[in-house]
Amino acid sequence: MVALVAAAALLVPLPGLRSPSGNITCFVSGGVLHCAIAHADYSATLQRRCFTRASVEWHGFELAARGAGRVTCSGGILYDPDTERPRYVTLAYGASRRLGVFACTSRITGVTCTSPAGHGLFVSRESWRAW
């Protein structure tokens, strides 16, 4: 038991946030912002899109420091669970927080994150947008 606690303490924390409802989470790994949503009206559509294009699962969205946000289709977890662990802080509605170079704002209508280059993501239960 002590070895497990010591191993967990050595994990690199990845800066992250969660919406007050807990439905939306975002974290930064390798200079890329990764956002996921637990329940979304469009889940089935994006899942089909990922299977059709890459035969992998829909995992959410990502935003790099340069370039537009995009849908993430992946075959697995987006960080190394042996050495890293997202550390999520609840971001109250109306509040903003920086995750590395990314600026994120939580609203009742969803979470918006932008990059220094002016690209971004908006994620909510009802819709999503990447630019």
Give the H or E element holding residue 81: none
pLDDT of 2 strictly over 60: no
**Which candidate, 32, 22, 99, 97, places its Cα nearest to that of 70?**
32
Which pLDDT value is given to residue 4? Answer: 52
What pLDDT is recorded for position 9?
65
SS3 state of residue 7: helix
Across the range 95-114, mean pLDDT stands at: 98
- CA–CA separation, 35 and 120 (whole Å): 11
* Beta-sheet pairing, 24-29 with 32-37: antiparallel
Residue 6 has pLDDT above 80, yes or no: no
pLDDT digits (tens, 9 = 90+) for 53-86: 777 889 899 999 999 999 999 987 889 999 999 9
Cα–Cα distances in Å, from 81 out to 13, 87, 90, 111?
A: 11, 12, 21, 25
Q: What would the pLDDT profile of 21-43 be if each residue is shown by its tens digit?
A: 999 999 999 999 999 999 999 99
Residue % of the chain over a pLDDT of 70: 93
